[in-house]
Amino acid sequence: MKKDIFKSVTLPNGVALKNRIMMAPMTTCSGFYEGSVTNDLIEYYRARAGEIGTIIVECGFVDNKGLAFPGAIGLDSDDKIEGLAKIAQAIKEKGSKAVIQVYHGGRMVEPKLIGGQTPVGPSAIAAPRPGAATPIELTADEVDQMIDKFGQAVRRAIQAGFDGVEIHGANTYLIQQFYSPNSNQRNDKWGGSRDNRARFPLAVLDITYNMVKQYANSDFIVGYRFSPEEIEEPGIRFDDSMYLLEKLAEKGLDYIHFSMGAILRPSIVDTQDPTPLINKYIAMRSETLAKIPVVGVGNVVNESDVRAALDNGFDFVAVGRACIAYPDWTDRIMKGEKLELFINSDKREELNIPEPLWHFSLVESLIRDVNLNVKKFKPGNYQEKVNDESYEFVINVELGKDFIKDMQLVNANNFDNEVLNNFSEIKHRIIESNSPHVDAISGATSQSEAFKKAVTKAMAQSNKEAIIAEGGDPNAKAYDVVVVGSGGAGLAAAIQAHDLGANVVVIEKMSVIGGNTNKASAGMNAAETKFQKLKGIVDSKDLFYQETMIGGKNKNNPELLRYFVENAPDAIDWLDNNGIELSGITTTGGMSIDRTHRPASGAAVGGFLISGLVKNINRRGIEVMLDCNVTEIITENHKVVGVKVTEEDGSIQTIKAKAVIIATGGFSANHEMVEKYRPDLKGFVTTNHKGATGSGIMILEKLGAGTVDMKEIQIHPTVEQTTSYLISESIRGGGAILVSQKGERFVNELNTRDKVSAEIIKLPEHYSYILFDQQIRDENKSVEEYVSQDLTVQADSINELAQKLSIDANTLHKTIERYNHFVNNKQDEDFGRTTGLRHPIDKAPFYAIKIAPGIHHTMGGVTINTETQVLDTEKNVISGVFAAGEVVGGVHGANRIGGNAVADIIIFGMQAGKQATDYIHQ
């Protein structure tokens, strides 16, 4: 018999669901930072309840190490019940059943999501994916405790008023990890044989029913979600899943929920067999399992998709992204509507989609910008050759009329699985966002940039061909504003100008977007911010001004500095409003108060910031031209009319523009220029990327721009010399110390950079060690990068560390004991350190990195006013030309405070975008 989609269906426990449609559980990333429920989340679910039979609410983590994505909601404490109850009530008031998933991410949890802690799992085996952390193996007692945590989470779901729970045994999360021979290689009762590996999911089901018996009625729904196969070797195979499901069925379930990307997906292991897994499931299941309804999910958009699922054996169909795009999806299907899966960019609020979900890849790929002038391509295949540090890649890029259709690695046979996996991941990111400007893969940056460059080159060639095919001139480009430089200042300026109505292009001479901002590590300074107030930090703009002026040895331009400190909180808010939240707060040298804002995870600010800004660039469709070097600003009658650009192939073109913003950074990587102003810095390494050559200063000097403070070049005290890695000031701000080769402290580690650098240079060996413990590592995500790059020396004791560093162990012991005494008393009797005295250094393992000063920042640059207008040598405005970021001089005086550079680029980048737009509109 054909199953009627919209008739009531009764579950094994006797509960009647009004139809066969469920809303699939989907990540929204919209909870508060600690997992409680937001009002947006409540309204999101309320809007989708009604005609749909059941809503399965996204998974709730069972303890605070279990969240596998940002903005996750929690079932980990009783204080979450009140908020969860509001979701359940909102759904049930509209007439739908409310079910919530319970889960723990296990080894799939990223340390940054749990405050830098190490995740846990059945065994200490990292997930087979780039950059995955190796989890801590749960002890037998901790396994028992974890099962209890699942039980308590179920109790909270019951007390919050949900109609049921779905045990999340899928998506390679903890329950699946226990059943998998890949992630579970224990030798106790929880591992080894298939029966032993099945103990954990069965125990979770047992405790679920215990809680239902104690706290709920017999009509409480219990479902189980599973992933039918793992591609890993060894891994779960379909017969393993059937074996587990039969065991679960014997204990009783109200439904079983496949977790797949497509309703009729065949095996991902036996790729030669086209049989849908649901067909295999129907053929293999016992009479007991056959009594339990089965739910299908994946790519369900129209009634025909539902019908195909039911006809192949599913009893219920879970609808995912279509429910996001159409909150009234069930009503529309009942009316016979034929739907397309997209969302117009102006419909977020109308559709009750929370802002974090709107920016999540799940939804971003559906958004169709109703106002965007999409860059045209000539459809076809474009083959590009690109290189990273080791290989040459031949890549076919297939383009549609206005979208990136596909990418193929032509010479894939030349590479190992790691390279192929990296290519597959970058390809996914590029196609999802319809842009080559996506995040690189951690640990494979150079390779990622090569893959992205192939797409950039193909798009540029295709765009030229499309323009020619329409009878146009590909060299006759015209914009309102040209932004030169794609670091934080340039991207902030471009976004601001676009949002104020300007037609903008960003031109970058490097093949990578982000400039020197990619290397920023500490954070962004601002005083009197909302995030400080939330943490009870009392600060003042006047104090910020005074400390920056002192740090800059009173050489700072007072007007620029006053504008800087007054507008810093607004810049923090502007970033937050654009999905870039810097709510974690620490301190840096020269500051007396915690005002250095950074990601809550403790991650380095630079990559986080550029990633967020690039997402905003992509969302607005702002064009970015890479491998294009602006060599001249063209003026006529003292007005800007365009720029001259040299492309990678040597061709030269003129781009028309009404205003130009120069945001090209400083000149730390130009050794000749550094030595011209500071001969004493000859031979110093630099922390800057190789594009920091002062090109913007030279371009502006051709127009008669004045410069200031060119001799003021900052060296950063903590630079690893063989790689030029900057060791973030936030590590010292988090409690690390500096010790000499004698094993002694020799400086207030959080004094200004110039003073700390000078003390290191005074040492006989001209280097020192930055020393810290596991607690500081846990609180500073940037340490993970240093560890992965083998920059750290690690030891389980101070004695062992001293031996590895060839330092006298007794001396090092005494140094650390004395420092810990200062920490406990909050008074440094030796060097007067007053900030960053957070924790004693006493939690093994212990770490050290050998460091010495390196060229880090050029405080000098062109002269501007507070409107970011470039001034000539006589302090007159050069009309239509603006500048922001390190290309500008005067803001930082003789020495830049750590955390002020990121503030500088955002504050003055925003101002440049606004002022350039005001100028062209006048």
Comparing CA positions, the residue from 153, 158, 184, 189 lying closest to residue 168 is: 153
Comparing CA positions, the residue from 509, 606, 532, 482 lying closest to residue 906 is: 606
Of 366 and 774, more confident: 774
How far, in Å, CA of 154 to CA of 96, rounded? 20
**Lowest-confidence segment of 237-246, 348-357, 745-754, 793-802 by average pLDDT:** 348-357
Question: Under CATH, which architecture does the 380-474 domain have?
Answer: Alpha-Beta Complex (3.90)
How far, in Å, CA of 77 to CA of 64, rounded? 9
Under the phi-then-psi rule, with left for phi > 0, alpha for psi from -120 to 50, and beta for the rest, what region is 51?
alpha
DSSP 3-state assignment of 75? Answer: coil
Class of residue 380 by CB neighbours under 10 A (exposed 0-12, middle 13-18, buried 19+): middle
Helix or strand run (H / E) with residue 712: none
Q: How far is it between the farthest Cα atoms of the chain? A: 91
| DSSP for 429-477, written as a single string | HHHHHTSS--PPPTT-HHHHHHHHHHHHHHHHHHHHHHHHHTT--TT--
Pick the CATH number of 9-368 from 3.55.30.10, 3.30.1330.40, 3.40.190.10, 3.20.20.70: 3.20.20.70
Comparing CA positions, the residue from 432, 363, 357 lying closest to residue 71 is: 357
Q: Where in the chain is the domain with CATH 3.90.700.10?
A: 724-855
Contact 353, 324 (CB under 8 A): yes
Contact 62, 102 (CB under 8 A): yes
Contact 437, 614 (CB under 8 A): yes
pLDDT of residue 58: 97
Distance of CA 617 to the CA centre of its chain: 15
Residue 799 pLDDT exceeds 60: yes
pLDDT of residue 3: 81
Comparing CA positions, the residue from 712, 683, 739 lying closest to residue 851 is: 739
Residue 921 pLDDT exceeds 50: yes
DSSP 3-state assignment of 801? Answer: helix
Residues taking part in catalysis: 753
DSSP 3-state assignment of 209? Answer: helix
Residue 79 pLDDT exceeds 50: yes
Residue range 724-855 in CATH 3.90.700.10 = yes
Mean model confidence pLDDT for the chain: 93
What does each C-alpha distance from 384 to 5, 393, 429, 453, 652 come to in angstroms? 49, 8, 19, 9, 21
Q: Where in the chain is the domain with CATH 3.20.20.70?
A: 9-368
- Average of per-residue pLDDT across 40-50: 96
Comparing CA positions, the residue from 94, 106, 29, 10 lying closest to residue 65 is: 106
How far, in Å, CA of 681 to CA of 710, rounded? 14
- Average of per-residue pLDDT across 558-580: 96
- CB 644: neighbour CB atoms within 10 A? 15
Q: Where in the chain is the domain with CATH 3.50.50.60?
A: 493-712+859-921
Residue 361 pLDDT exceeds 80: no
- Strands 294-297 and 255-258, by their bridges, are parallel
- Packing angle, helices 81-93 and 140-159, rounded to 10: 50
Q: Where in the chain is the domain with CATH 3.90.1010.20?
A: 380-474
Query: Which phi and psi angles does 212 have, rounded to 5°?
Result: -60, -40
pLDDT of residue 896: 92
- CB 306: neighbour CB atoms within 10 A? 23
Residue 541 pLDDT exceeds 80: yes
How far, in Å, CA of 153 to CA of 145, rounded? 12
Question: Under CATH, which architecture does the 493-712+859-921 domain have?
Answer: 3-Layer(bba) Sandwich (3.50)
How far, in Å, CA of 650 to CA of 492, rounded? 29
Q: Long-range contact list for 467-470, CB < 8 A, 24+ apart?
A: 467/376, 469/378, 470/376
What does each C-alpha distance from 439 to 307, 577, 586 come to in angstroms? 39, 20, 25
How far, in Å, CA of 454 to CA of 259, rounded? 34
- Average of per-residue pLDDT across 279-307: 96
DSSP 3-state assignment of 268? Answer: coil
- Average of per-residue pLDDT across 725-744: 93
- Average of per-residue pLDDT across 284-288: 97
**Lowest-confidence segment of 38-47, 202-211, 467-476, 540-549 by average pLDDT:** 467-476
pLDDT of residue 369: 54
Confidence of residue 373 (pLDDT cuts 50, 70, 90): very low
Q: Would the pTM count as exceeding 0.95?
A: no
